[in-house]
Amino acid sequence: MNEKKTNRSLRFWLTAAVIGGVYAALTIAAAPISYGWLQVRISEALTVLPYFTPAAIPGLFIGCFISNMVISPFSVDFVVGSLATLLAALLSYWIRKRMWLVPLPPVLINAVAIGAMIWILSGPHTTLTLLMYMGSIGAGQALSCYALGMPLMLYLKRHRGIFGIGSPPGGDNMKQ
């Protein structure tokens, strides 16, 4: 393996580790509002990072797994929450050419997956409570991903050279 390829791989995994660490730290620091049927995970603002780098995909997954392992009241959240975050990050990366849609996968996937998980584990098991859990998780996600994540994305896009996280897809000619 040549040195350039090794450096790129090292940079990828270091970036993923930093993103994961920041995600876990933010989630744990804001634990009272990060869990439960009514939650706003400040760390979910970071789910816009796949727009800039694919290293955010494993970083978000690992950060979510660590924070769920430390704080979550539901052990199944280690798997469900982490896989929901992984799927959302993959989809956000896949649609990254549509900047305003990048925060949407974390909102929708978490609303369904986490809302359903809480409904199954907590009850009461009525359609109304399922919709209530999904709606409250979706609202919290929308707040985190759009009200916090979108300004973060716009800031990083403007100042991407400072952070060294790469150029957005399509350069400055991207569809928005």
Prediction pTM value: 0.89
Q: Percentage of the chain with pLDDT > 70?
A: 91
Q: Residues 6 or more apart from 50 whose CB is under 8 A from it? A: 56, 57, 60, 89, 90, 92, 93, 96, 102
Q: What is the pLDDT of residues 8-55, one digit of tens each?
A: 899 999 999 999 999 999 999 999 988 888 899 999 999 999 999 999
How confident is residue 171, by pLDDT bands cut at 50, 70 and 90? low
What DSSP line would sit under the chain, residue for residue? --HHHHHHHHHHHHHHHHHHHHHHHHHHHTHHHHSSSS---GGGGGGGGGGT-TTHHHHHHHHHHHHHHHH-S-TTHHHHHHHHHHHHHHHHHHTTTSGGGTTHHHHHHHHHHHHHHHHHHH----HHHHHHHHHHHHHHHHIIIIIIHHHHHHHHHHTHHHHT--PPTTGGG---
